[in-house]
């Protein structure tokens, strides 16, 4: 196995490469950078290790290296080297891709100004090829995800999670491995690396990227992991669900987009029940199961909420269970992902359960609560170490051999029969509901220790948030240095400028529907489409605690007021200045009577505008121009159009919005830490330290 230790040669190479790259991140689009980095690594490895890469490849590569050392942009020669290499019969990426999209663009050398420094740094010892290109590429992708402002278009799955899945499912030579939402190709790469470490090969790999920027990135990543001629296609959820593909796979591994809204799901034939249009989680689960061969297994990363979501999702969970599709559910720790602290579950499925467990032992599910595993350094994501992964995968393999004989482990795992799961309303599949806790100390001492553990974890999270906040402020200050004084532009004028021909989708500002369009008798008690009112707007988004819903049929007649990702919903009465940005989770909700709906033009970042509305300048202006009583202030659509908006450049807007989001996160963590401290004080004097009388 190649060395990916934090102090190993691969880490030293990546640190050197990143120091060469990092100064060029500011003030430019970095979407293509990671793809170009991996292409440079792959080309370097090919030139160094191929038996005969050919003079026509070596010459432009050597010229590019020489040009880089003098500071001259080497893009033309790199592009020629990659184009010629891709036509070589031993080059590990198919020639059908377009290398020109990697190193050439409309901006010429300005598109990738970092390449000369990066290529020069690559030549210093220790060499990337000697350190191991697989390890270097893995660490470089991780560094990019953790420290770059750009995203890979789909959520990056940490290497420890992809390794855990590969070790748990154990692909074999000749197997077909599929990832229908492959992102950077991490799951497929982990499966390939697992096979290589077992001394095997010969598996086939199939990937689909939901973000159309990612096929080249994933193919390069797979090639660096030893996959010869990988092929990754661009797709989208709607197309995948309509045409799931031909041929069955022995393994489907996937971290699909969470809680995604995909229209038209009712037109497909679903094996376990039609998923709701507003949430495609169970569409992805059923797609994975449908692509399995008779002996196949699937593993999907799912949001924790999928284990207990009500309504149609609960019905599908029941059908999955009684249909024998579910092998295990694993609760993973929080903070595994770089850009979110949300805990996730791992669902492991089988096309035919009887092929994997002994006869007569199919009607049970293995639940593993691994939420307390892993380690976390300050300001870093949590990491599942080799011993953590071994504990999970070994437990799963032991369970497969003898579900009823393998002993339960209090606090970690338990085998649960179908009857017990079906007795619970909604057929929940959260491991924490079924795994028996460890033997506990006396109640008061337990509470105190638990609170201390929570306080320690909270302090670590706050320290990490402080580091992210500092980086965000540094980024904002760098952008601000390049800005002239930002003008104050009436909101109406911002929208009019967009309508007069500036690029971008049409902007929109309107008041929510009148009371006659949404009457009291239109609201439903179960299911339906949420209607956003001022009380549902919070400082960080939308609260679902008291949100009310109308039927899908009623919402269909209010299409003009339905929310899209990137919209901003503003309060028009009560506490003015409340605003929230619509995400994928709120797609299709309805703007209520007491709110305004803003669909910003291309030149106005929604997160910046929402943060500006919540700031003192906008709130003071809105208060001064409102009408109504002191308890119920109101602002009209016409007056809102006169709101002066401080409008810096788009890059500055995004940097400011990022900083405000970090401040919101930091404030939330501090409040939680203060509340934990107060609870700890109460419990410590109530038997936690001083014995109760």
**pLDDT tens readout for residues 401-435:** 999 888 899 999 999 999 999 999 889 999 999 99
478 has a pLDDT exceeding 90: no
Please state whether 571 falls in left (phi above 0), alpha (psi between -120 and 50) or beta.
beta
502 has a pLDDT exceeding 50: no
- pLDDT for 203 equals 83
**The total number of residues written for the chain in this structure:** 693
Q: Token digits for 15?
A: 């640190």
- Which residue, 92, 114, 94, is CA-closest to 34? 114
Residue range 199-214, pLDDT digits in tens: 777 788 989 998 887 8
Please, how many CA atoms are within 13 Å of residue 168, restricted to the half-sphere of its CB? Answer: 30
Average pLDDT over residues 506-510: 87
Which has the higher per-residue pLDDT, 446 or 459? 459
Grade residue 570 by pLDDT with cuts at 50, 70 and 90.
very high
- pLDDT for 25 equals 85
The whole-angstrom separation of Cα 576 and Cα 620 is: 9
- pLDDT for 154 equals 59
Which has the higher per-residue pLDDT, 202 or 43? 43
446 has a pLDDT exceeding 60: no
- Among the residue ranges 321-330, 374-383, 626-635, the one predicted with the least confidence is 374-383
Pick the CATH number of 152-439 from 1.10.8.60, 3.40.50.1000, 3.40.50.720, 3.40.50.150: 3.40.50.150
Grade residue 457 by pLDDT with cuts at 50, 70 and 90.
confident
Average pLDDT over residues 210-220: 86
The whole-angstrom separation of Cα 68 and Cα 76 is: 12
Q: What are phi and psi of 438, to 5 degrees?
A: -65, 160
CATH code assigned to 487-647 = 3.90.220.20
Q: Where are the beta strands (DSSP E) in 441-556?
A: 488-490, 508-511, 523-524, 529-532, 537-538, 541-542, 548-550
Average pLDDT over residues 208-222: 87
Q: How far is CA 524 from the centre of its chain?
A: 32
Q: Which H helix or E strand runs over 50?
A: none
Residue range 657-669, pLDDT digits in tens: 888 878 877 787 8
- pLDDT for 664 equals 79
Going by the DSSP 8-state scheme, the letter that residue 503 receives in this structure is S
Q: What are phi and psi of 235, to 5 degrees?
A: -150, -170
The mean of the pLDDT values for the chain is: 85
Q: Which long-range contacts (CB under 8 A, 24 or more apart) does 244-248 make?
A: 244/180, 244/287, 244/290, 244/291, 245/178, 245/180, 245/206, 245/291, 247/176, 248/176, 248/291, 248/292, 248/293, 248/294, 248/296
Residue range 404-413, pLDDT digits in tens: 888 899 999 9
- pLDDT for 296 equals 94
Task: Classify burial at 352, counting beta carbons within 10 Å of its beta carbon; exposed 0-12, middle 13-18, buried 19 or more.
Answer: middle
324 has a pLDDT exceeding 60: yes
Q: Render 631-662 in DSSP notation, one character per residue.
A: SSEE--HHHHHT-EEE---HHHHHHHHHHHHH
Task: Classify burial at 644, counting beta carbons within 10 Å of its beta carbon; exposed 0-12, middle 13-18, buried 19 or more.
Answer: middle
The whole-angstrom separation of Cα 130 and Cα 144 is: 22
95 has a pLDDT exceeding 70: no
Cβ(438)–Cβ(461) below 8 Å = no
Average pLDDT over residues 593-618: 91
Reduce the DSSP state of residue 379 to 3 states and report it.
Answer: coil
- pLDDT for 130 equals 83
Cα dihedral 315, 165, 144, 204, rounded to 10, equals -100
- pLDDT for 234 equals 86
Is the overall model pTM greater than 0.75, yes or no? no
Task: Classify burial at 546, counting beta carbons within 10 Å of its beta carbon; exposed 0-12, middle 13-18, buried 19 or more.
Answer: exposed
Residue range 10-37, pLDDT digits in tens: 999 999 999 999 999 887 878 889 999 9
Q: Which long-range contacts (CB under 8 A, 24 or more apart) does 557-562 make?
A: 557/517, 558/513, 558/517, 558/518, 558/590, 560/510, 561/510, 561/512, 561/513, 561/590, 561/591, 561/597, 562/588, 562/589, 562/590, 562/591
Q: What are phi and psi of 590, to 5 degrees?
A: -115, 135
Domain boundaries, the chain: 1-150, 152-439, 487-647
């Amino acid at each position: 196995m190649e060395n990916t230790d934090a102090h190993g040669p691969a880490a030293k190479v990546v640190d050197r490469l990143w120091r060469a790259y990092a100064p060029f991140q500011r003030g430019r689009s970095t979407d293509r950078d990671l793809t170009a980095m991996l292409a440079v690594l792959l080309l370097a490895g090919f030139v160094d290790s191929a038996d005969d890469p050919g003079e026509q490849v070596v010459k432009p590569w050597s010229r590019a290296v020489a040009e880089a050392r003098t500071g001259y942009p080497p893009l033309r020669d790199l592009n020629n080297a990659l184009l010629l290499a891709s036509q070589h019969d031993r080059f590990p990426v198919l020639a059908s891709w377009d290398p020109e999209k990697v190193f050439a663009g409309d901006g010429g050398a300005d598109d990738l100004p970092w390449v000369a420094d990066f290529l020069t740094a690559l030549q210093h010892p220790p060499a990337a090829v000697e350190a191991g290109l697989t390890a270097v590429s893995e660490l470089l992708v991780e560094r990019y995800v953790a420290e770059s402002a750009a995203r890979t278009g789909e959520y990056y799955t940490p290497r420890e999670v992809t390794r855990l899945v590969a070790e748990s499912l154990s692909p074999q030579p000749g197997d077909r491995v599929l990832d229908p939402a492959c992102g950077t190709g991490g799951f497929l790469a982990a499966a390939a690396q697992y096979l290589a470490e077992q001394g095997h090969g010969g598996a086939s790999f199939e990937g689909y990227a939901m973000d159309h920027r990612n096929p080249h990135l994933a193919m390069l990543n797979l090639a660096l992991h030893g996959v010869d001629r990988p092929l990754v296609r661009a797709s989208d959820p709607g197309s995948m669900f309509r045409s799931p593909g031909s041929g069955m796979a022995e393994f489907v591994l996937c971290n699909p987009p969470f809680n995604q809204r995909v229209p038209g799901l009712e037109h497909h034939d679903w094996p376990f029940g039609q998923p709701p249009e507003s949430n495609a989680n169970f569409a992805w689960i059923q797609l994975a199961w449908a692509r399995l061969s008779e002996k196949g297994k699937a593993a999907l990363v799912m949001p924790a909420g999928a284990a207990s979501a009500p309504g149609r999702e609960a019905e599908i969970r029941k059908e999955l269970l009684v249909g024998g599709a579910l092998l295990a559910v694993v609760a993973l720790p929080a903070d595994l992902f770089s850009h979110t602290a949300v805990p996730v579950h791992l669902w492991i499925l089988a096309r035919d359960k009887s092929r994997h467990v002994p006869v007569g032992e199919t009607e049970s599910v293995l639940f593993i609560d691994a939420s307390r595993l892993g380690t976390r350094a300050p300001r870093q994501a949590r990491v599942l170490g080799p011993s953590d992964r071994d504990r999970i995968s070994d437990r799963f393999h032991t369970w497969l051999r003898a579900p009823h004989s393998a002993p339960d482990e209090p606090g970690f795992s338990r085998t649960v029969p179908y009857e017990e799961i079906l007795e619970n309303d909604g057929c929940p599949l959260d491991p924490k509901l079924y795994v028996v806790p460890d033997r506990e100390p006396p109640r008061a001492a337990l509470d105190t220790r638990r609170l201390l553990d929570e306080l320690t974890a909270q302090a670590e999270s706050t320290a990490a948030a402080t580091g992210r906040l500092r980086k965000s402020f540094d980024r904002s200050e760098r952008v601000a240095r390049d800005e002239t004084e930002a003008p104050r532009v009436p909101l109406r004028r911002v929208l009019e400028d967009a309508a007069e021909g500036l690029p971008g989708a049409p902007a929109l500002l309107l008041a929510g529907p009148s009371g006659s369009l949404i009457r009291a008798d239109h609201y439903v008690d179960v299911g339906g489409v949420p209607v956003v009112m001022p009380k549902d707007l919070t400082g960080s988004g939308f609260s679902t605690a008291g949100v009310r819903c109308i039927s899908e049929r009623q919402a269909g007649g209010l299409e003009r007021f339905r929310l899209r990702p990137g919209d901003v919903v503003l309060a028009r009465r009560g506490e003015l200045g409340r605003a929230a940005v619509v995400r994928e989770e709120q797609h299709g909700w309805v703007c209520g009577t007491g709110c305004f709906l803003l669909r910003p033009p291309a030149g106005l970042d929604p997160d910046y505008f929402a943060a500006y509305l919540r700031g003192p300048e906008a709130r003071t202006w809105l208060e001064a121009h409102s009408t109504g009583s002191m308890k119920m202030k109101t602002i009209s659509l016409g007056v809102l159009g006169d709101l002066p908006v401080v409008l810096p450049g788009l890059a500055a807007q995004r940097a400011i919005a990022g900083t405000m989001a970090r401040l919101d996160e930091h404030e939330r963590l501090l409040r939680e830490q203060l509340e934990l401290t107060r609870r700890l004080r109460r419990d410590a004097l109530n038997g936690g330290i001083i014995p109760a009388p």
